[in-house]
Structure 1
């Protein structure tokens, strides 16, 4: 069974599942960067592991909040693609490729425009190569929303969504309690650092109505999204942002084959991210596991060399039904 997942006894804790992969060494991939100039004057970067062979698919990797091509899950799927001889490219969100973006705005959980721009360019450049995608966490929410928005016009043949916070408001509240606050603190500090960099950038002077002291007081995702994410990206406030950017309402609109993977014990989420059967499109395969943590899914090996379920399951789904043939 391709969807049979059971964690080893030493990795049943959701925090072991979530944290251990971050500290497990994965070979650094050799990547070639391609910069895309966006219509609004900003840019995003694509990191290629290998160019596609004629008629063979391209796996597009969409990272999570403050992730990149160097994130543990990105390195592992790149490695798995290399083993199978698949072309793979990481779509970086704005400011996540190691260089600050030019504008005051950045990226957010519901921004599908940049993804569509990347996919359109890939389709134009490699018209014979089917486009497959996997999105992790925030990137998974973006991918879910993209699939639901574009429906038959989606440029993807197949897609996989991993540990996506499909109900943003519930996830923000979850991260304010218990050990989950550790994850929130780590990520919010990274976001604060980027905002502070922009506050001191000469080209952006006066574009953000915040002071470094105010930024330092934004210690929760809710506060950060209310004072930074929502106003910078045209939302009326944090609740408007969470409502309009959440992927859950788009799950039943998806018309292209899509796999969504969740773990019940994910410390970033609550049961509110789990779609009711009536909310799941017939084109969506929904997989809910009792264990797995957040982008973990360790299924064996040892604590020093864990073995993962994700890469095998992702590629099995993406390559099903002869997805390697041109559309």
Structure 2
């Protein structure tokens, strides 16, 4: 696996973060959509890279968990799924509740430590593909969530191997960082999407949610959103309690599945607090690059950009699938 080297002229963290969203808009496969009903009478919307009923016996299945307010249409998501398809694998994204374009039915939603939907979906995939290696990628929020899942399941995890990309492993530090400097642009974008979706949900479930539209409209930061919405909806005392209980950094020692963590030191969503300082077990591969931004990692050149994640993620999984190759 080659090391990441940013494209000439693209060492700036914000260019690395923003340009992939501009360069990779088109989905390069025809997704096969499916709705999976949950035990609490809600739903998870899936998008597969091909008809799952025709997937060759024994070939891997790659599960992708997207980031905050992400979806199949997030460039990193469909690009990584297409990279899996190019390997002959079946790829699938599980949209978190409310992220597929339709408001979910229950008051609860998703957050960085909410693992029950992921666990339910992974068990579903394992039952559907009993003889296939299961691989998982979690991006940003989905990465921290995946670390929580791996820590909770330990040796009982259904996954063969996993990778997490730009995970906010210290939620409090990342919440503070995104309120500083140019990173406030990202906060404004994400918060705008979160508020719009919550206002739609209040309108759709007026007797279920304990919020007033004016409360949501007045929120000015991600931390305030977590204090006002995320924490009370999901059983936390406040944002600080949520951040402390759901940050993945302190749970890495409980992970038993082979895991790779990819961080960039210049990530504008992160601080050094997300970087593990305690020794990690041999089955956790920590990969810290100097450059790359947040889920960026553009190499190549301006004229011919290359998306390093699309190459390095399948390559690392291949080393776990074929350790003697």
The TM-score, its normalising length taken from structure 2, stands at 0.95
Residue 323 of structure 1 and its aligned partner are, at CA, apart by 5.5
- Distance in 2 between the 1:153 and 1:244 partners? 21
Residues 4-15 of structure 1 mapped to structure 2, 5 A cutoff: 4-15=3-14
**Where in structure 2 are the equivalents of 1:203-282 lying within 5 Å?**
204-278=205-279, 280-282=280-282
Is the aligned partner of 1:299 residue 2:302?
Answer: no
Query: Does the 8 Å CA contact 1:163/1:295 hold for their aligned counterparts?
Result: yes
SS at match of 1:11: coil
Corresponding residue for residue 315 of structure 1: 314
Is residue 165–residue 295 contact of structure 2 (8 Å, CA) maintained in 1? yes
Gaps of 5+ in 1: none
**Which of 90, 93, 97 is the equivalent residue of 1:94?**
97
For 1:101 and 1:232, how far apart are their aligned partners in 2?
14
Identify the residue that residue 23 of structure 1 maps to in structure 2.
22
| Pairing of 1:182-201 with structure 2 (within 5 A) | 182-201=185-204
Pairing 1:27-46 to 2, within 5 Å after superposition: 27-28=26-27, 29-46=29-46
Could you tell me which residue of structure 2 aligns to residue 286 of structure 1?
286
Q: How does 1:152-163 map to 2 (within 5 A)?
A: 152-163=155-166
Work out whether residues 59 and 88 of structure 2, in 8 Å CA contact, stay in contact via their aligned partners in 1. no
1:74 aligns with 2:73: no
What's the secondary structure of 2:9's corresponding residue?
Answer: helix
Quote how far apart the aligned CAs of 1:14 are: 0.2
How big is the shift at 1:271? 0.5
Task: Quote the offset at 1:268 in angstroms.
Answer: 0.3
Kindly indicate whether the alpha-carbon contact (under 8 Å) linking 2:49 and 2:90 is maintained by their aligned counterparts in 1: yes
Report deviation, 1:209: 2.5
Deviations 1:233-263 (A, max 9, x none): 1111111110111111111211111000000
SS, match of residue 319 in structure 1: helix
Residue 139 (structure 1) shift: 0.5
Q: Is the 8 A contact 2:33 2:47 kept in 1?
A: yes
The Cα shift of 1:85 comes to: 1.6
CA distance in 1, matches of 2:137, 2:227: 28
**TM-aligned CA deviation for residue 75 of structure 1:** 1.6
Uncovered stretches (5+) of structure 2, i.e. residues with no partner:
none
Runs ≥4 residues deviating over 3 A: none
Distance 1:318 1:26 in 2: 25
**For 2:81 and 2:209, how far apart are their aligned partners in 1?**
37
The residue that corresponds to 1:139 in the other structure is 142
Q: Post-superposition shift, 1:26?
A: 4.2
Question: Does 2:164 match 1:165?
Answer: no
Per-residue displacement from partner, 1:92-118 (whole Å, max 9, x unpaired)? Answer: 111111211111211000011101101
Aligned equivalents of 1:323, 1:138: Cα separation in 2? 29
Could you tell me how far apart the structure 2 residues matched to 1:321 and 1:38 are?
A: 31
Under a length normalisation based on structure 1, what TM-score does the superposition of the two structures give?
Answer: 0.94
Map of 1:118 onto structure 2: 121
After TM superposition, the structure 1 stretch with the greater mean CA deviation from structure 2, 309-318 or 24-33, is 24-33
The total of aligned residue pairs comes to 319
In the alignment, the residues of structure 2 paired with residue 123 and residue 244 of structure 1 have an alpha-carbon distance, to the nearest angstrom, of 28
2:8 and 2:301 in contact (8 A); partners too: no
Deviation at 1:82, TM superposition (A): 2.2
The CA RMSD over aligned residues, in Å, is 1.4
